Amino acid sequence: MSLLIRGGEVVTGRGRQRADVWCAGETITQVAPDLPAPPDATVVDATGKLVLPGFIDPHVHAYLPLTTVTAKSNFANCTRAALLGGTTCLMDFAGAGREKDFDEAWAAWSAQADGQASCDYAFHLMVRRFDSELQRQLERLVARGLKSLKIYLAYKPALAIPDEDLLRILQFAAANGLVVMAHCENAELIPFLQQQLLAAGKTGPEWHEPSRPPMVEAEGVCKFLTFAAAAGAKAYVVHLSCAEALSMTDRFRDKLAQLNIETMIQYLTLDQSYAARPDFEGAKWVLSPPLRTKADQEALWQGLADGRIDTLGTDHCPFDFHDQKTMGRGDFTKIPNGIAGVEERMALAYTAGVVGGRITLERLVQVAAENPAKIFGLWGRKGGIAPGFDADLVVWDPAARRTISVQTQSLDTDYNPYEGFAVQGAPEVVTVRGAIMVRNGRFCGPTGKGRLLM
């Protein structure tokens, strides 16, 4: 199997060049102008198009069974949507807090993904407690290639990790070179504020954000990074949403050997007014941390541009409005938290970021492809366009225009959180390890192509 992408403008985090990309088997073998095409090669004409590395989403919930509801997602539809949006590799979280141990969580997520994922994938391991038996299981997973852990400082008592276990897992991670990802919100303040608001009759979705204000997130960031610095661990703050939390991370940049910050496309393009829409419609945009102000949006764009924010993900976790989000009618704390985004991320980022003049295309490639690969141990295989890398490529049409709609999305959820957004730029051809999975904006690859990256 061989593939030649001819005549496009190849874009990496370091710059652009007019070049062809030659792929033999599953890897890129040559990047240079005017490469000859062997008789048996599949040739893709990329004239007038951009050739980008396959994008990586470091934070996705393709499968998430919660206590009272399961996200409207599975690996088949999530990875198909990802590919249609230009994402060729995603990272999910093995574990939802209900499994008895790490082995059970890993087996459950592996069973969900195996034979169903159409793009390559990796797992972060979710940790809510730590003891000697769990340590033995974790040591076996590390020996197999596990690179990262996820802990929660919120959602007490179901998910929030106790302080003693937090310190121990950070010490274990430091000793084994693991990245520790943290959901940073204060576990004590949130239920206090929630009950205070409910007692005052403030029950609608518009009160979700006041129950988790920026100070709650900033305090969580401070606690996590304080513990990580004490343990000497690699720290990764997930889904940072506001200027106050970003400023808190700045205080720790000289205290940690490795500190990485992630934000999400929703915090750059949506604001808290969506969750305040009347007649309970705002429930469609309830997620945690909540949507913030337009001023917070601009602070996050600046952080992406100046390098203080390293990665751009989605926290893709869709629910139907009817029958799922409506579980919280009359009590906003019962609204399932999360929205879709894996299909829309790159078109939104290209439109608002690159076309909008907030970041360069090269910087977009860094935060959505190169940096996730480097942070999570995939660089050399994923995230780049160079000989030896997997042939994960996106032929991007910068002139394409469309309006996002539930009517044209690939997911079967009953709404799209970005309904009516006009976007510019779209993937025309998408490959995974040299196989064309999307052509002319349509999924054409086999379900189950994806591999676990360990």
pLDDT tens digits, residue range 306-347? 999 999 999 999 999 999 999 999 999 999 999 999 999 999
- The boundaries of every CATH 3.20.20.140 domain in the chain are 55-375
The CATH classification of domain 2-52+386-409+422-443, taken from the options 1.10.8.60, 2.30.40.10, 3.30.2000.10, 2.130.10.10: 2.30.40.10
pLDDT tens digits, residue range 247-279? 999 999 999 999 999 999 999 999 999 999 999
Which whole-number Å values give the CA distances from 297 to 56, 122, 168, 369, 420, in the listed order? Answer: 22, 29, 35, 21, 19
DSSP string of 153-203, one letter each residue: SSSTTTTBPPHHHHHHHHHHHHHHT-EEEEE---TTHHHHHHHHHHHTT--
User: 55-375 sits in which CATH class?
Assistant: alpha beta
- Stated pTM of the model: 0.97
Token digits of residue 140: 């076996």
The answer to whether residues 52 and 369 touch, using CB atoms and an 8 Å cutoff, is yes
Provide the pLDDT confidence category of residue 454 given band limits of 50, 70 and 90.
Answer: confident
The separation between CA 164 and the C-alpha centre of its own chain, rounded to angstroms, equals 28
- The boundaries of every CATH 2.30.40.10 domain in the chain are 2-52+386-409+422-443
| pLDDT value for 37 | 87
pLDDT tens digits, residue range 370-418? 999 999 999 999 999 999 999 999 999 999 999 999 999 999 999 999 9
The answer to whether residues 271 and 297 touch, using CB atoms and an 8 Å cutoff, is yes
